[in-house]
Amino acid sequence: MSLWAAHFHMSNGLIGMLGAFSSNAISAGVGALIGGRICDVYGRKKIYAWDLLVYAFGILWIIFAVKMWMLFVGYVLVGLAVGADVPASWTLIAELAPKRSRGKMSGFAQVLWNLGPVITLLLALALSNLGLLGIRLLFLHLLVLAMVTWAMRRGVVESERWRVAVQRERESNKGMQGKRHGIQEVFASRANVGAFVFCILMYGIWNLVAGTNGFFLPFILRTVGSETQATSVELQCFNFLLTVLATIFVFMPLNDRVNRRGLFAISSVFQVTAFLLFVFFHLNTTIALANIVLYGIAFGFGQQPFFQLWSGELFPTRIRSTAQGLMFAVVRIGLGLWSFFVPILTAVGFHKLALILTCMLAVSGLIGVTFAPHTEGKSLEEIEAERLAASHETYLRTNTSIHTSSK
């Protein structure tokens, strides 16, 4: 970002706008909203046929950008494609995985998700002496990977669960094409509304902290003494590596077999402790490294992997991708809007901002521990039936209470 900013003489406001609309925030949210809808209407595989082509087209704009507006076009297109891919990928993982390995497969996706930045950071370090040309070459490798992955995805099978759900719906409508479930269907039952609110609050509040941590990290690395690019990259890679290891050795083997609330609670305690260090202690090498270690480990079995898992488990097949896309959109667009205020918040002081983030982590953790569903080891059909029955029972109880009161 610093190289692009220097080359195009970008102001801090334009840098913030580029970050807000990039693949990490608003454009990804919009892409997820569109992609999730397409997945439920036309099938999960439909997104796989096109999203990486859009991604590659956006990457080309970035590689050959000679004007600032070209850079914006590229980042927005890439963001739309990245966002559209999320509900498609997460839904396929949830629907294709065996019920006692669904969490493990979701965790493996998170492992790859966190290995990506490590590889890119190392490539950026290797190409750093080339300046802006090195950055263009960095995006060129993403273009190549996108096209190779697109070719491989052509052999991916459609979700059988989606096929069955569509067929049953058509049969129930006497052979006519079943209705296309829109976003309104996400809010058609108490169970869906409850799941939506739970996921948004648990993950959305935490994601604001994760996004803000990006502003913390450079300051932390300077405090540790990383005046060189090499040291900064090494520490960032170390943070991602800890996350990968925690996912492999904690989340993947345990979350399908133990009470998930316990795992989530431990992760939340680690994260809150990591930022409390910034609140009560002067920032030095030991404190900074302790934060990186605690937060990096907790990330591996915390809100991020659990959001992927729960957002796929808590909604019926016909609206699963729509719900995931809508939730991801709300969270990412919220992060984009939040990013505009982070520079203002940093003015309150390092320790005060750390306290704000600590409170947000505590709230997210409390929501997760209190309302986490007991879905481990159950098939998606079993989870859907249980939630439907619970929602119906609540509806009957409420109406009975109202009827009794009226008498």
Cα 345 to Cα 342: distance, rounded to the nearest angstrom: 5
Cα 396 to Cα 263: distance, rounded to the nearest angstrom: 34
Q: Which of the given ranges, 154-158, 211-215, 273-277, has the highest pLDDT on average?
A: 273-277
What is residue 5's predicted lDDT score, i.e. its pLDDT?
82
Q: How confident is residue 38, by pLDDT bands cut at 50, 70 and 90?
A: very high
Dihedral in degrees, nearest 10, Cα atoms 228, 230, 233, 238: -110
Q: Return the exposure string of 379-388: e unless at least 16 CB atoms fall within 10 Å of the residue's CB, then b.
A: ebeebbeebe
Cα 101 to Cα 376: distance, rounded to the nearest angstrom: 9
Q: Return the exposure string of 217-237: e unless at least 16 CB atoms fall within 10 Å of the residue's CB, then b.
A: beebbebbebeeeeebbbbbb
Cα 331 to Cα 319: distance, rounded to the nearest angstrom: 18
Helix H or strand E segment including 57: helix 44-63
Q: The tokens of 15 are what?
A: 């840098």
pLDDT, the chain, mean? 87
pTM of the model: 0.88
What is residue 341's predicted lDDT score, i.e. its pLDDT?
76
Q: How confident is residue 15, by pLDDT bands cut at 50, 70 and 90?
A: confident
Percent of the chain residues topping a pLDDT of 70: 90
- Residue-wise pLDDT for 276-320, tens only, equals 999 999 888 788 889 999 999 999 999 999 999 999 999 999 999
- Residue-wise pLDDT for 345-384, tens only, equals 777 778 888 999 999 999 999 999 999 999 998 999 999 8
